[in-house]
A and B are shown apart, each in its own frame.
Chain A
Amino acid sequence: MSLTSPKPKPKASGNRGTPPPRTPAQRKAALGLDRGGWFLLLPALIPILILSVGPLLYGVSLAFTDSQSGRTNPTEFVGLTNFADLGHDSLFWDSFRIGLVWAFCVTALQLLLALGLALLLNQNLRFRWLARTLALVPWAMPEVVVGIMWRLVYHQDAGILNATLKDLGFINENVDWLGSLSMALPAVIVVGIWAGMPQTTVVLLAGLQNVPGELREAAALDGAGIWRRFTAVTWPAIKPVIVAITALNFIWNFNSFGLVYVLTQGGPGGETRLPMLFAYEEAFKYGQFGYAAAMGLAMIAVIAVFLTLFLRKRLKEEAA
């Protein structure tokens, strides 16, 4: 890296024709960049502090209070009561279990399918422009529209899925995809995959295009088959991209709200009530701000544990 490589110190300047300063520090000094740039940061810093960092700290502190909406008596500090209540709340545990199933399934399948598609799009195939274009559409669509669209697809009587499966002879009776206890969660997981796969594909494709083709050719000349070329050349090259996008996907999926809100509103019988939907109901349906904030903190804890487990190995590799 340019920052670490040793550079010869330029001779004392002053006389005409001296080369421009060379070390990063000197270049900055010449441009006046060594003096604070904080005033440039100010316009961004103020809204961030007031409307992001501040509320976040406020939100964290709310988790330790009995804050409720529309209450007349002042909010009081209640310590860990909210967390103790969460521990006894079976609905909360159900919701977290569902949230984890949802996040793991969607993230894993998203990655698998996106990797497959990205590898295909990286080949010289006809019609790949069509797939590339189509892959952008779900990414651009509003979450709400994706939800509505799949409700139309899953519609028990007028939906195309039931009609097609019936024509193909897979089912005899129309299935109530979003309304049955056993089918609802898998059904929304499929929607989650559909909605998130394109973005993952595009990112992986960009990663794949940075893998030098000569490496794969060399491996092929050495007699490596497709699988061996993938494991020995492609996979190691795109692993950092995969790790990054998977970590982000997991966080996004675990925090997901709009899609399932539109599809099922958490039903049937709470079978698809993701943690965010649960927290939303607690906060804005029942006005339990303190309790909902405690839930938010619990969600962060889950994400933090996942990230630590997931990234630990990678960080170790980097440190070594």
Chain B
Amino acid sequence: MSTVGTLRAKRAAGHTGQYLALLAYLVFLAFPLLWLVSTAFKPAKELGSIDPTWLPKDWTLENFRVAFDSQPLLHSALNSLIVAVSAAVIAVAIAIPAAYAMVRYKSKVSTAGTAWILVSQMFPFVLIIIPLFLVLKNLHLINSIGGLIIVYVVWNLPFSLWMLQGYVKAVPISLEEAAAVDGASRFRTLVSVVFPLLTPGLVATLMFSFVTAWNEFFFALVLLKSPENQTMSVILTRFLGAEGVADLGPLAAASVIATIPSLLFFALLQRRLVSGMLAGAVKG
């Protein structure tokens, strides 16, 4: 009886400890987010107060209105959307056949491809952006959305290949054999058998590529000079102003808006994302 009692007490203490630790994590993760959202909805008067409160006393949408008025925010959102969608679609479209080939055909090219995926993670962007900058300059693609899309496609390719490889591996080769036995051509097999099975993986990869491009900052900062071409990430840093003296409310409002698309896709993705990342790592 007494031993069971102490065991239980021990377990209860353990649970309390665990909940305390979980609470600490929740606070650490949540408080900056809460502050951002709260700032976005605070009236200017409260933002100027020397004794800030956690939540706005009067909730207002004024900051969002100012954000949309003061900077070409909508236009930059449109730029971001065009760039991210194009980059994601193109990257995935050219990654599908390549991922299929890398999984099903074991050749030296496939091995080199996998090695490149890993190595490309290692290089500092600066070593890639300087030559790209010079190349794109010669092609007159600096300061153009088209140039940025090209860069993002190449930027998205390694991870798209990585994720798609995992999904291709999950398609049983016996299905392709069955189709071949039934007299389907290679092309027909790919279109009618492999492709439909890949669709969920394709959607996940598309969404991930979109988020990567939507969130990207460095390449956009270097390549886009004129405000009418800039993406949201770059426009947001303009809100910070010359000396970092920013209008806090609109800044927070604009940040909230910029986060929504990524967050939405991540919410839809969450389960697939992990399995996708790990699937690519499983040895065939």
Q: Which residues of A contact B (CB under 8 A)?
A: 1, 20, 27-28, 30-33, 36-38, 40-41, 43-45, 47-48, 51-56, 58-60, 62, 113, 116-117, 120, 123, 125-128, 130-131, 134-145, 148-153, 155, 157-160, 163, 194, 198, 202-203, 205-206, 226, 244, 248, 251-252, 254-255, 257-258, 261-262, 265, 275-276, 279-280, 283-284, 289, 292-293, 295-297, 299-300, 303-304, 307
Contact = CB atoms under 8 A, between A and B. Distances in A.
B40 to A, nearest CB: 10
A43 B98 CA distance: 7
Interface residues of B, number: 101
Classify the interface of chain B: helix, strand, loop or mixed.
helix
B145 interface: no
Contacts of A148: 36, 236, 239-240, 251-252, 255
B39 A134 contact: no
Contacts of A140: 211, 215, 259, 262-263, 265-266
A289 B130 contact: yes
B128 A33 contact: no
Specify which of B22, B130, B177, B240 lies most central, judged by the most chain A CB atoms within 10 Å of its CB.
B130
A250 B19 CA distance: 30
Nearest to B15: A125
B56 interface: no
Contact of B218 (A41, A48, A258, A292): A258
A202 B274 contact: yes
B1 interface: no
Specify which of B98, B105, B131, B150 lies most central, judged by the most chain A CB atoms within 10 Å of its CB.
B131
A159 B161 CA distance: 42
Contacts of A28: 104-105
Contacts of A198: 29
Contact of A152 (B215, B252, B273): B252
Contacts of B191: none
Given A131-B22, A134-B30, A284-B222, A59 B154 contact: no
B173 interface: yes
B128 A262 contact: no
A51 B14 CA distance: 55
Nearest to B37: A149
A314 to B, nearest CB: 15
A41 B114 CA distance: 12
Specify which of A140, A149, A251, A261 lies most central, judged by the most chain B CB atoms within 10 Å of its CB.
A140
B179 to A, nearest CB: 9
23 contacts: A30-B180, A31-B176, A31-B189, A40-B97, A41-B113, A44-B94, A44-B95, A44-B97, A45-B98, A45-B109, A52-B154, A55-B128, A55-B132, A55-B135, A58-B134, A125-B18, A137-B263, A140-B265, A141-B262, A142-B233, A145-B236, A226-B14, A248-B121
Interface of B: 14-15, 18-19, 21-22, 25-26, 28-33, 35-36, 39, 47-52, 54, 93-95, 97-98, 100-102, 104-105, 107, 109-110, 113, 116, 120-132, 134-135, 150-151, 153-154, 157, 161, 173, 176-177, 180-181, 186, 189, 211, 214-215, 217-218, 221-222, 232-233, 236-237, 239-240, 244, 246, 248, 251-252, 255, 258-259, 262-263, 265-267, 270, 273-275, 277-278, 281, 283
B143 to A, nearest CB: 13
Given A36-B105, A40-B98, A145 B131 contact: no
Nearest to B235: A144
Contact of B19 (A40, A125, A226, A244): A125
Nearest to B177: A20
Given A43-B94, A44-B97, A59-B131, 10 more contacts: A37-B101, A43-B93, A51-B132, A143-B233, A148-B251, A150-B32, A152-B251, A153-B31, A160-B54, A280-B222
